[in-house]
Each structure stands twice: as structure tokens, then as C-alpha cells.
Amino acid sequence: MMSIKNYVNNLSDEDLKRIYKKMLMIRKCEEHLGEATKNGAFPGAVHLYIGQEAIAVPLCDQLNDSDWISSTHRGHGHFIAKGGDVKKMMAEIYGKSTGICGGKGGSMHVADFKKGIIGANGVVAGGMGLAVGAALASKMDGNGAVSIIFFGDGAANQGVLMEAMNICSLWNLPMIFMCENNQYSEFTHTSEVTSGKIVDRAEPFGIPKYEVDGNNAVDVWQAAYQAVQRGRNDEGPSFIEAHTYRQRGHVEFEYTFLSRTYRDQNEVELWKTNDKDPILRLESYFIEHNKYSGDDIEKIQKEVQDEVDDAVKFAIESPEPDITSAMEHMIER
Amino acid sequence: MSKQRMMPAINLALQEEMKRDNRVILYGEDAGISLLGQTTGLQENFGKDRVRDTPICENIMTGMAVGAAAAGYRPICHLLYGNFIYTGFDSIANQAAKLKYMTAGQVKLPIVYMAVIGGGRSAAAQHSDIPYPALMNLGGVKVVVPSNSRTAKGLLKSAIRDDNPVFYLTAAGGGRPEEVPDDDNYIIPIGKSEVINQGNDVTIISIGSMTLKSLQATKKLNEKGVGVDLIDLLSLVPIDEDTIINSLKKTGRVIIVDEARDICSAASHISAILSDKAFKYLKSPIKRVTVKDVAIPYSPILESHVIPEVADIVNCIEELLELN
């Protein structure tokens, strides 16, 4: 088994425990949504972040509210990792008035600008320009804030990525390109639709590149640390490709409309094992190094589950939006 | 007050607004050297930080405006020609027009997207379009089309001060020099049209480059004893419904002159508004004078054939009056 923590100097056990707990929060929120969608508990479709938690959390753990993130249709994890309110996120997905966007955005548009969360995005690579614009603003403000675009291997094939890398490198913007390569572009294996290595696309732009095991929180933290420091010190953009695996489908419930399977179930199961799953790997590390006992982990699991249950209860019990709100916020007259 | 052409008037508005508010930034292709003259001297006056030459990359440019606006700036995204709005359309339609709504008003997006629109210069089909019908249908953006140098200054200043994404689209055939107020607070409110000629027989509603042609048509009609109420619309989103309806009440007849193709044009939308809200005042059908339903051709003789000319406006009104 790959060691989770073999060369870390600047990451304490406390840091790792905090990261673990937040990863668990994402996992349990997503597990709930995966189950609840079967009962039609909320109106829209959800794209779950299960298996990719070790990417958003170790990076966002190093950010504060003045830093910006822009993310993807698989954006619940980024929202939570950046400090978004779990109750308000859950209520948003349930389409309720108490949701972070008043029930007008839903799963694919959870955002909280006060926390630097520009939001999830329903367009693949759609957040790219937004993150670059925020990076430009931070650069002009000279406040040391950084801007992160989370995007997938699918978005890596959008032309706007090249435009973004060019301009960020040219203007030395405090931007981090965080590519989460989860191996599937919707329902197609990325190798079938992608030439070359994604991380290498940073090279001709002179952008420092990091390739990491995206299921290893420590690896991600280290690369993110380099990238964040570069941004804060006005040294320009960085590109990280984090290799991971999408344990769930592109979208929940996909087999109700797909005519055939597109991947082997054994492959999926492999990535759920102790050696591969990012959360199980952290737990193994804690136990092996006597940082946590099995009981400790069980206790934390329960704490987190209780918090998720509260958020779900809050979402379910919250009122529907007032229909007058449908006519608000489009344009300021 | 001094007589100026369109581009210097736009430049004046930019200079004044960038001086007034240091959160106003501008970027675009050739912004420093200024291909068309709108941005001449801005880089010298406000620096390369606030006035940036971008690569040729409309896709990221339109999105950057959203991010920079969300982060507290008032970006002006200079897209050169209206056709390049299509190149950058994803972030316009999917982000700029919707982000505020999708996030329940969490964010203000004070953005100006500026471009030159329309034909008349043998620039051919990819540099002569009128893209505002698509923009009007987005919902989350305002759209203004000045008709001359004075309205160009007043509307641009309003657009920069507005907290919404505003499309500021200037006609390529900007017309003759007009008196432009020196007052650095001279603004024309978005959503207000101007009645530039009074008459009782027929209303002409004109947009952008069609205003000067409509004015010329008005003179010809006056000579024939026809009184024209001429409304320079100026703002397409929102539309000044009160002014156009009041004029229709007075004249009972209306034509709309629009350089867009007819299908789902500003003209067809205005026609729909008037038949909904002022049908009983109509003495004859609402007529639309629009560009012919083809791409804009290169050769001048072909181009002037498809773009509405003064004679087309006059003919339309004469036919309309003979109907009664």
C-alpha cells in the first residue's frame, strides 16, 4: 500500500485530521444524495464527488475567504471544502427557499460569493473564464489572493483551457489549474477522447506542472502548497493534474436512460478498496500510526453523519420558495 | 459642447469614466493601439494594468469579465466587431446573463461588452452582423444602441455605471458629427428613447444606424406633407414602451426600422408589444423595414440593396398611407 504520509514536514496530524473530517463530510453528503435521488426526494439530477474528496479538501484547506474557486457540475465537494454551509447546500439541492441560492440554482450552481465560491457550473469548462477574471482582480488588488479553477479531464479538451493558460501565463496571474482526472468524460473513457497527457498541456505556456495521486490527500496537499505559495508570492499560475477515479456514474440514475454499460463493475470496485479509496487510505494511516483508534474513527463518522442528517432534516423541513422569487434577481432595473 | 464624430465621443466617455472610478478597467484586442479609435490614449493615461491588450481569445475574454466583476471591478470587454460576440457567446449566455439569477442575487455584474455592429463598409458577412436579437432574448443583460456621437457618449457612461451586464453596440455607419456635451456627468438613462422629430401622421421607430436614414426619410416625407413622429429607440433592453405607445396613440400608424434580419428582430418584438398593448389605436398594420434575409454581401451595390436605405423607409410609409 502506498504510504499516505512519507515526506510531509509542513502538514501536522491536526491538519490531516481536519482534512479527513471534511472529506468525510463530503462523502456522507454525497452518499445521502445518491440514496435520496432514488426516492425522488429532490427535483434535479446530481453528479457526485465520491472518490475525489482528497482533491478539493487539501487544496481548499489552504485557502481563505478572499481566495476564489470556480468549479464544475460535480461541485458539492468544492463548495463544502471551501467552507460553504452544508445545510444551505442541502436545502439548495432540495430546491428550498433556505438554499444558498434560494432554490434557483440547484445542485449544479451552488455558490457563495462571500466565501469566495464563484460556484459550481453546468457548462463543462464554463467556470474557466470566471476564475481567470477573479485571478485578474486579485492580481490588480495585489492582496495575495489566489484563484482556482477545478475542472475535469473532459474540460481539458475544451479550447478555452488554452486561452486561459495563455493569458494567465502572459499576465502572471495567481491562478491554479486543478485538473481532476477521474478517467471519464461523461460516459466515455477519457483515453478514447484525449490525446497526450493533460498535465503536459501546461508546458508550452511555461506554467509549472504537478502530477499527483489525487486519492492521496497528502500528495495533493503538497502540490497545492507549492501552487498556492506561487500565487500568493506573485509568481504566476500553476497546473496540477490529480489522478483519481469517479466511483459513481456521471450522473445518478444514469442506467435508467443509458442503453448499455460503459465500464466494468470490477474496475469500480477496485477503486473502493482500502488501497485506493482516499478516505479509507487516510483511515488506514491514522490507525497504523496510532493517530486514531477504530473507536475514534467510528465516533467521528457518527459526528459527521449526525451533521449531515441535520442538514437533510433542515432541507426537508424548509419551506418551498415563494413563487414571487422566480421573478427576482434577473436584472437590476 | 463641441462637434465630434462617434469614435472620439466614445473615447471621451471612456476617459471620463476611467478617471471617475478606478475600478473601471478595459481590455480587448488592440486596446492600446486602438483599431477603431474608441480606446486611443487610454493606456497612456491609465496604464497597462487597467487598459490591457488581450490575445485574440473572445471565449475567455467574455468569461473573465464575469469573474472580474464578481470580484469587485467594473470591466469593459472590448470585442471589436459584433460578430465576435458569437465567438465568446458561452460565457455571455451561460454565465454573464444567468449568474446573478442562479445565485439569487448574491452578485452584481457591472460589465460592459462593447462592439461595433452592422454593415455599410464592405466588411462582408463576418464583420457586419447585428447580433442584438440573440442578446435581447437572453434576459439577464441590457442592450443599448446609440445612434450618433452624443447618444454614444451619454449611453456609454450609463452603461459603465450600470450594475448589470450591458451590451453597448455602436453602428459602423456612425453618421455625421454631432454636438457632444463636455459635461462629464452627461448621461442618457438606459431604457429611455428620444423623440427627435414631431409629427401627427406616422411614427417611425428607428434603431442605431437606421436613425440617421429615418431622419433623412422624415425630411423627404415632410416635403410631401407627411408629418412624422421619429423615435430614436436607443435602448433595446429595456424598451421604452411608454414613449412608443404614446406616439402610436397620436399617429395611429407605425413603422420600425431595424438593421437586423426580420426573424425575431427588435422590430418584430416591438411590433408584438404594440399589437398587444395598443391595438385599438392602430389605423393600419405595423410595418417593419429590416435587412433582407441574407448574409451581408461584400460588393457595395449588393450591400446597399439588402440594408434598408432612405428610399425603403419612404416607400414603406407611402404604401402604408395609401392603404387608408
Rounded Cα distance between B148 and B4, Å, is 9
Rounded Cα distance between B186 and B146, Å, is 14
Tens digits of per-residue pLDDT, A216-238? 999 999 999 999 999 999 999 99
Rounded to a whole number of angstroms, the distance from the CA of B284 to the nearest CA of chain A is 33
Rounded to a whole number of angstroms, the distance from the CA of A285 to the nearest CA of chain B is 39
Torsion on CA atoms B117, B123, B126, B131, rounded to nearest 10: 10
In-domain check, residue A20: yes
Residue to test with chain A: of B59, B107, B240, most A Cβ within 10 A: B59
Percent of chain B with pLDDT over 70: 98
* ipTM for the whole complex: 0.95
| Ordered DSSP codes for A134-170 | HHHHHHHHTS---EEEEEETTGGGSTHHHHHHHHHHH
In-domain check, residue A318: no
Which domain does A80 fall in, by range?
13-313
Confidence band of B322 (pLDDT split at 50, 70, 90):
confident
Rounded to a whole number of angstroms, the distance from the CA of B60 to the nearest CA of chain A is 5
Domains of chain B are: 2-180 (3.40.50.970), 194-323 (3.40.50.920)
CB within 8 Å: A113 and B103:
yes
Rounded Cα distance between A61 and A59, Å, is 5
Rounded Cα distance between A276 and A246, Å, is 12
* Helices assigned H by DSSP within B172-265: 210-223, 241-251
Tens digits of per-residue pLDDT, B188-222? 999 999 999 999 999 999 999 999 999 999 999 99
* Chain B residues within 8 A of A68 when measuring between CB atoms: 67, 71
Rounded Cα distance between B281 and B202, Å, is 12
Q: Report the CATH number that the domain containing residue A37 is assigned in CATH.
A: 3.40.50.970
Residue A56, chain B, CB below 8 Å: the answer is: no
What total of structural domains would you count in chain A?
1
Torsion on CA atoms A88, A90, A95, A97, rounded to nearest 10: -30
- Nearest chain A residue (CA) to B189: A333
Q: Can you give the pLDDT at residue A110?
A: 98
In-domain check, residue A265: yes
Q: Can you give the pLDDT at residue B94?
A: 98
Q: Is the pLDDT of residue B324 over 70?
A: no
Q: Can you give the pLDDT at residue B1?
A: 82
Rounded Cα distance between A43 and A37, Å, is 8
Q: Nearest by CB to B60, which of A68, A119, A164?
A: A164
Q: Can you give the pLDDT at residue B31?
A: 95
* Chain A residues within 8 A of B101 when measuring between CB atoms: 104, 329-330
The residue-averaged pLDDT of B138-167 equals: 97
In-domain check, residue A1: no
Percent of chain A with pLDDT over 90: 95
The grid cell for B319 is 404604401
* Chain A residues within 8 A of B47 when measuring between CB atoms: none
In the annotation, is B78 catalytic?
A: no
H/E run at residue A180: strand A175-181
Q: Is the pLDDT of residue B323 over 60?
A: no
Q: Which of B78, B127, B269, B305 is catalytic?
A: B127
First to last CA, chain B: 44
Q: Is the pLDDT of residue B53 over 90?
A: yes
Tens digits of per-residue pLDDT, A232-288? 999 999 999 999 999 999 999 998 899 999 999 999 999 999 999 999 999 999 999
Q: Nearest by CB to B60, which of A68, A132, A137?
A: A132
- Nearest chain A residue (CA) to B143: A331
Residue A120, chain B, CB below 8 Å: the answer is: no
CB within 8 Å: B100 and A330:
yes
Rounded to a whole number of angstroms, the distance from the CA of B137 to the nearest CA of chain A is 13
Neighbouring C-beta atoms of residue A166, cutoff 10 Å: 17
In-domain check, residue A331: no
Residue A98, chain B, CB below 8 Å: the answer is: no
Residue A321, chain B, CB below 8 Å: the answer is: no
Coil, helix or strand for A89? Answer: helix
CB within 8 Å: A105 and B102:
yes
| DSSP state at residue A282 | H
CB within 8 Å: B139 and A331:
yes
Residue A68, chain B, CB below 8 Å: the answer is: yes
| Residue indicated by cell numbers 467594473 | B74
Q: Can you give the pLDDT at residue A3?
A: 47
Tens digits of per-residue pLDDT, B291-310? 999 999 999 999 999 999 99
In-domain check, residue A327: no
Instruction: From first to last of the 333 residues of chain A, give the pLDDT tens digit.
Output: 344 454 456 789 999 999 999 999 999 999 999 999 999 999 999 999 999 999 999 999 999 999 999 999 999 999 999 999 999 999 999 999 999 999 999 999 999 999 999 999 999 999 999 999 999 999 999 999 999 999 999 999 999 999 999 999 999 999 999 999 999 999 999 999 999 999 999 999 999 999 999 999 999 999 999 999 999 999 999 999 999 999 999 999 998 899 999 999 999 999 999 999 999 999 999 999 999 999 999 999 999 999 999 999 999 999 999 999 999 999 876
Residue to test with chain A: of B49, B56, B64, B143, most A Cβ within 10 A: B64
